[in-house]
Amino acid sequence: MGRKERREREEKRENYATKRSSEKRKNMMIAIGVFAVIAVIVGYSIWIFMNMTTNAPGAPEGAGPLGSEHSHAAMLVKIFGDTFDFSLPAYQIKTSWIHFEGGDGTTVHKHATGVNLGFLFNSMKLKVDDKCFIFQDGRQFCTNEDYSLRFFINDQEVNDISGYEPMDKDRILIVYGSETPEEIQELLKQVDTQPIIER
């Protein structure tokens, strides 16, 4: 082998090594760029989630960020003596802010400050105001000459419940019918002894 051929071979090796090194550097820079973009997107998503406020989709007006509170309240709804069953799938976790969950229909779970019972009922396609309890199918149970819609929070009767923000360990009773004071006392005892499931 001549000197010229050896030099050409060495130059080819050097060119090949330089070219491979350049390709590796280029691929490394692309990978670093892709990972940096992914890190920024993930970081921004986490920041948005941690700072969700009333601007978050579906947020109740005046609510704090998700996670600003985690409280539980017992609820009992009686209509003509029958217990309204919130354990059915149609009433389970309709919003992250306040809901019934885990197949339980007696414990209200609230996950943010400033969330009221009106928002809970609206999320389940129910309407409750000071006069009427209205079902999804349009059936209405309204105060009239014969029957009354009544609300109790921690054994105290209140006029309206829709604007009430439940607090931890509250006991809430909603009754529609013509119950006697003795029957109301029995229902209050029932809601007072109802277990509150904390998850």
The ranges assigned to domains in the chain are: 1-50, 71-193
Give the chain's mean pLDDT: 87
Q: Which amino acid is at 163?
A: G
Please identify which residue in the block is written with the tokens 């809970």: 120
CATH of 71-193, one of 2.170.130, 3.30.410, 1.10.10, 2.40.160: 2.170.130
Query: 118-160, pLDDT tens digit by residue?
Result: 999 999 999 999 999 999 889 999 999 999 999 999 999 999 9
Say yes or no to pLDDT of 54 above 50.
no
**Nearest CA-CA partner of 131 in 113, 116, 153, 151:** 151
* Mean pLDDT calculated for residue range 51-77: 81
